[in-house]
A and B are shown apart, each in its own frame.
Chain A
């Protein structure tokens, strides 16, 4: 079972999708691997477009249920394009999620739960780790980070508020994010 799982994990996405289509003995393992690979990506898509963690989790769950259902039924025309199929499904479901939540109950009644807890905030950065890194960037950069990612202001809006051009704001934001990332990495190693 261990080597079987390992060999499934090395398959390309298209090959993995074909195993699910074929309904062979490895199909269940292939389904799990497909969900492990794409669940977090669909969830990220949901975080961007639905702007809510619970809704993003719902999206990931629903999209994977649909994908597995379509693969099992042999309704995915080109399994080698599975990534593209999942992205299209994410777009479609995100649109309908904004309108209704009824389908989730219907699908969950028919299929297993494909959303393990490991998708969700597995690597969340706690305040104690990030606070010193935010304090270490320059005053200007800290204001830009807070206005961008907390107040959700565009570069143009931030620029207007601080007397900077939008381009200068983006450059400062990139520099600040690079510093923050390096700082977090150093603290993780320490």
Chain B
């Protein structure tokens, strides 16, 4: 039985222990407590497993999210194979996913002045919705949003046009900021030598 001498931190406080912005005094407080408290040691282990799983899923490219160059740099450091397409508003781009691609990135350029968040909708040529993201944060002065998709997901998309529409969040219907067209050519295998 481990003795408990100080107040137990919450799960989120213990999760903060694994971030890079926790002050040294807080690290020391948590460590002192965890070494004396078996319950919190288990909770800290749970928080570590959760954060490690988030890292793992990112490293495997199994996520869809609007990301930053900082995250793309980390993927590059981890040797994750990323294929990138950059589009201006209204542009149609031919695209495909190769068998060894792990993440596909679309750099969506546009004029986002006065917009703090956007909603993104992807539709297949058939009109079927392929994806929908709500309240994507937009930093003031930004000129592009970076969408990362798992290559496995893209490979499953039928050949044909796919339309991505960005709208200012909270203004459904008419307030379209930009549209981008992906002429999806399907999944490709590399020729064997």
| Interface residues, chain A, with chain B CB atoms under 8 Å away | 10-14, 37-38, 40-41, 44-45, 47-48, 83-84, 86-87, 121, 123-127, 129-131, 134-135, 138-140, 142-143, 145-157, 160-164, 166, 170, 173-174, 177-178, 180-181, 184
Contact = CB atoms under 8 A, between A and B. Distances in A.
B63 A146 contact: yes
A177 B17 CA distance: 13
A105 B142 CA distance: 54
A143 to B, nearest CB: 5
Interface of B: 1-3, 11-12, 15-21, 27, 31-32, 34-36, 38, 41, 44-60, 62-68, 70-71, 73-74, 116-117, 133-140, 142
Secondary structure call for the B interface:
helix
Contacts of A13: 1-3, 36
Instruction: State the main secondary structure of chain A at its contact with B.
Output: helix
Nearest to A180: B50
Given A41-B41, A140-B137, A83 B65 contact: no
Contact of A163 (B48, B116, B133): B116
A153 B55 CA distance: 13
Contacts of B74: 150-152
A84 B28 CA distance: 12
B55 A44 contact: no
Given A151-B68, A154-B20, A84 B32 contact: yes
Contacts, number: 165
A10 B53 contact: no
B70 A151 contact: yes
Given A148-B19, A163-B139, A123 B45 contact: yes
A44 B35 CA distance: 10
Given A135-B64, A140-B136, A177 B15 contact: yes
Given A138-B134, A178-B11, 10 more contacts: A11-B1, A48-B17, A84-B36, A126-B53, A135-B64, A140-B136, A142-B63, A148-B20, A149-B19, A173-B19
Contacts of B57: 127, 130-131, 134
